[in-house]
Amino acid sequence: MLALPLVLASRSPARKTLLTRLGLPFDTLSPDIDETPLPDESPEALVRRLGQQKAETVAGIRPDHLVIASDQVALHRNEILGKPGDTQRACAQLARFSGQSVLFLTSLALYHPHHGMRLHVEPYRVHFRTLTQDEIYAYIDKEQPFECAGSFKMEGLGITLFERLEGDDPTALIGLPLIALSRLLTEFDCHPLRNTQGNS
């Protein structure tokens, strides 16, 4: 049994699916925070702060839980990329990335009510192959990645857009770095291989 109940501070289906892979029972609760960057805030500082704020917000509601939170930004030529929102912007983003690379920074925050906060930021770089307009339109039409920074879904057909991937943990690109999470859970005596049971 887990020493503490686990809660994922997210409404993301992708993050929920990733966490399910560890075989630990958990609930989800979506935090409501202001994600506006602070003046002169670096991308790494932004994702770190937002991950921590999400964890702290949910911990305030579930004070007896072990809280997992995450945030992600995508960078192209040092510019933070927003979610496209519609077909036109998504196509423009992918056309811009053709033959280029995009860096993703994914934060992980793990909060324990007795031992405090652990924070981690995982980098992952995506190298896009040269894309034709027809490929871009076909991809956008099939997956409609309008709420995804970078205009693709790594867990779906987005993989067909890439020439290569560069990083230590591909789950970070989807939204929750499981390698780092497993390590941090172990610090709190919650190793997935010692606590695996059916997900609730």
- Distances in Å between the Cα of 65 and the Cα atoms of 52, 100, 114, 150 are 15, 42, 10, 33
Per-residue pLDDT of 38-67, as tens digits, reads 999 999 999 999 999 999 999 999 999 999
Over residues 180-189, the mean pLDDT reads 92
* 3-state secondary structure (DSSP) of residue 170: helix
Indicate yes or no: pTM above 0.95: no
- Distances in Å between the Cα of 73 and the Cα atoms of 11, 89, 130 are 17, 17, 23
Q: Please, where are the H alpha helices in 62-177?
A: 87-97, 133-143, 170-174
Tell me the sheet residues that pair with 111: 67, 117
Per-residue pLDDT of 156-165, as tens digits, reads 899 999 999 9
Per-residue pLDDT of 2-15, as tens digits, reads 578 999 999 889 89
Which of the following is catalytic: 34, 40, 71, 134?
71
Architecture of the CATH domain 6-195? Alpha-Beta Complex (3.90)
pLDDT band at 154 (very low <50, low <70, confident <90, very high): confident
Q: Give the per-residue pLDDT at 198.
A: 41
Active site residue 71: yes
Q: Give the per-residue pLDDT at 2.
A: 55
Q: Give the per-residue pLDDT at 156.
A: 85
Which percentage of the chain shows pLDDT scores above 70? 96
CA distance 177 to 180: 6
